[in-house]
């Protein structure tokens, strides 16, 4: 049986797909921001002298890294209402993406922090810098510079993971595509187009992350 390709329904609803792309990029950027915050805070707590805090961070990382993202997003989506917190699917997806990405960011950033020589930290204190400035300028910035390529790769994966948010009807590209397929029954044409769109989104995100690296972490050039 010969399949008749028909991209006309895709072209007709292309603006909806573009809106879905914007939703995907919004979820990804918000998830990256939250993941970065969780990663930095987690590294600070991971280095705490308090054994309970260190244990809590280690348990968080192991639980998140060893469970599927789909299970995590379902857990957050159904657990928050039990705690009296009711959120729309999109904010719930952002929280799930941030938590998932944050667990990986903790280990990535921690590797960078551990690569900083102790002598460099001692030199910072010898120059009269406060603990905050030593952490911010002597530890965190060089560490982020070292691990930024790995962190960028993780964030690209997080961008693609946004597609799973369609499971809770969050507004993003895959959920829009599924709705178009249910209306047109043109699965191949729709998801062929969506595949190209995800490739473009990933490229844009990669270029954006490179621009951030150049702006914030590149060594100054004389």
**Averaged pLDDT for residues 59-64:** 96
Q: What is the rounded average pLDDT of the residues 126-147? A: 90
pTM of the model as a whole = 0.92
What pLDDT score was predicted for residue 222? 54
**Mean pLDDT, range 47-76, rounded to an integer:** 94
pLDDT tens track for 75-110: 999 888 888 888 899 999 999 999 999 999 999 999
Residue 2 has pLDDT above 80, yes or no: no
Give the mean pLDDT of the chain: 92
> Is the per-residue pLDDT at 1 higher than 90?
no
Residues 101 and 104: their CA atoms lie apart, in Å, by 5
């Amino acid at each position: 049986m010969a399949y008749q390709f028909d991209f006309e329904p895709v072209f007709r609803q292309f603006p909806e797909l573009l809106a879905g792309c914007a939703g995907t990029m919004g979820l990804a950027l918000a998830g990256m921001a939250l993941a970065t915050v969780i990663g930095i805070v987690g590294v600070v707590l991971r280095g705490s002298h308090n054994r309970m805090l260190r244990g809590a961070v280690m348990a968080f990382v192991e639980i998140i890294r060893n469970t599927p993202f789909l299970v995590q997003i379902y857990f957050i989506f159904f657990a928050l209402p039990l705690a009296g917190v009711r959120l729309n699917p999109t904010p719930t997806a952002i929280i799930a993406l941030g938590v998932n990405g944050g667990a990986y960011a903790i280990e990535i950033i921690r590797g960078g922090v551990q690569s900083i020589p102790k002598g460099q930290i001692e030199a910072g204190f010898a120059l009269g810098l406060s603990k905050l400035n030593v952490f911010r300028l002597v530890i965190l910035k060089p560490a982020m510079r070292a691990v930024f390529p790995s962190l960028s790769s993780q964030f690209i994966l997080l961008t693609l993971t946004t597609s799973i948010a369609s499971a809770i009807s969050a507004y993003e590209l895959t959920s829009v595509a599924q709705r178009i397929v249910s209306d047109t029954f043109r699965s191949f044409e729709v998801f062929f187009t969506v595949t190209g769109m995800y490739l473009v989104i990933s490229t844009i995100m990669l270029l954006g992350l490179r621009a951030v690296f150049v702006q914030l972490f590149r060594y100054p050039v004389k």
